[in-house]
């Protein structure tokens, strides 16, 4: 089973998600604060998907998006904040 990440935007809000076998298994929501700041406010992973790395996959997708678009991330979500705390090489987008 291969998991892939994707992104949806809806005006100034959006989400990153993980899909596996055609089903959405995880979701991380964000809101844009102006043009250059993304606030990650919530992360959830469907039951049965613990320890598959889906949460970190979504954070890394957000980091890639931020780097490619010169955006800074504010990780208000405790899970996203913990990924930044544990991963120094992605702190350039904070």
Dump pLDDT digits (tens) for 66-82. 999 999 999 999 999 99
Q: How far is CA 37 from CA 7, 32, 64, 66, in A?
A: 16, 6, 14, 9
pLDDT at 1 over 70: no
Mean pLDDT computed over 26-44: 97
Of the pLDDT bands very low, low, confident and very high (cuts 50, 70, 90), residue 27 is: very high
Q: Identify the pLDDT of residue 82.
A: 98
> How confident is the model over 45-60, as pLDDT tens digits?
999 998 999 999 999 9
Question: Residue 7 phi/psi, 5° resolution?
Answer: -145, 140
- What are the CA-CA distances from residue 83 to residues 10, 11, 45, 94 (Å)? 25, 26, 15, 12
Cα 4 to Cα 22: distance, rounded to the nearest angstrom: 10
């Amino acid at each position: 089973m291969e998991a892939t990440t994707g992104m949806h935007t809806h005006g100034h809000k959006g989400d990153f998600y993980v899909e596996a076998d055609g089903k959405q298994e995880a979701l991380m929501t964000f809101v844009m604060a102006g043009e250059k700041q993304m606030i990650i406010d919530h992360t959830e992973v469907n039951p049965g998907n613990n320890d598959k790395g889906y949460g970190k996959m979504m954070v890394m997708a957000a980091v890639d998006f931020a780097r490619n678009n010169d955006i800074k991330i504010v990780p208000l979500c405790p899970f996203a904040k913990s990924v930044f705390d544990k991963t120094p090489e992605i702190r350039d987008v904070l």
